[in-house]
Amino acid sequence: MGKYKVSVNQLAEFDGASEAAKKRIISQQRKPDAFRIPWYQLPKARIKKCIALKGDLAPIHDAISILQARKPTSPRQTNDRNVSIEALTRFVEIKLPSIIKNTDFEIIRPKSKTVAVKDVDIIVAPEIVVRGKVNGKTVIGGVKIHISKNSPFDLQKSKAVATIIYKYLKDEVATKDDAVLPELCFCLDVFDGRLVAAPERVDATLKNIREVCDEFKTIWDKTV
């Protein structure tokens, strides 16, 4: 990876954040915590499984039961458990689009997890990447999950994440026989209650993403 790096969800948070928040995001990227434990691992895994099963909610209900039976031993575990249960409960109300339910697809695991935009390595790592057939053509798409009770994405941020997924799949994953469908590239924001696809025409959104990456580099270079 190059000098500049950021996760796709943090880049979305960076856009429109306060100057202090932007500097905090960059500081976290410059010196990541090697011992940081990811939040909400179980709900993300079960949401991924539900999507792979075209909307079968059994993995979601099973996860809720598992979490309800847990006995947390620290404030962090308590918070993770409670927010995870709420996230899964909210996910049940989100309707999966017909393109997911009606397309026969397989789960693929790309080797690359990043895409470069204006020399910024964006860590995309979608929770799920699929390859299937639509109208006789081989297509690929992906879903990035965002779970944040205090900072859910608005429509613009979700659209930006979905568009970065589109670019990532097009630049780093698709073969010459694959078509990347914008309508199959999603940002799922559980607490906002939306599954947002990339726009049919991605140029305007990509232009804004490039501008955000330029600002990210400028502040990175000024941050000690």
Q: Is residue 37 part of a domain?
A: no
Domain that holds residue 172: 4-31+95-222
Task: Give the number of other Cβ atoms within 10 Å of residue 201's Cβ.
Answer: 9
Q: What is the pLDDT of residues 86-106, one digit of tens each?
A: 999 999 999 999 999 988 899
Q: Is residue 102 part of a domain?
A: yes
Among residues 127, 126, 130, the alpha carbon closest in space to that of 140 is found at: 130
Q: What is the DSSP letter of 38?
A: P
Q: Is residue 24 part of a domain?
A: yes
Q: Is residue 81 part of a domain?
A: no
Q: Is residue 61 part of a domain?
A: no
Cβ–Cβ < 8 Å for 50, 42: no
Domain count along the chain = 1
**pLDDT band at residue 223, thresholds of 50, 70 and 90?**
confident
**pTM (2 d.p.):** 0.93
Q: What is the pLDDT of residues 18-66, one digit of tens each?
A: 999 999 999 988 887 666 678 899 999 999 999 999 999 999 999 999 9
Q: Is residue 87 part of a domain?
A: no
Q: Is residue 151 part of a domain?
A: yes
Q: Is residue 212 part of a domain?
A: yes
Q: What is the mean pLDDT of the chain?
A: 93
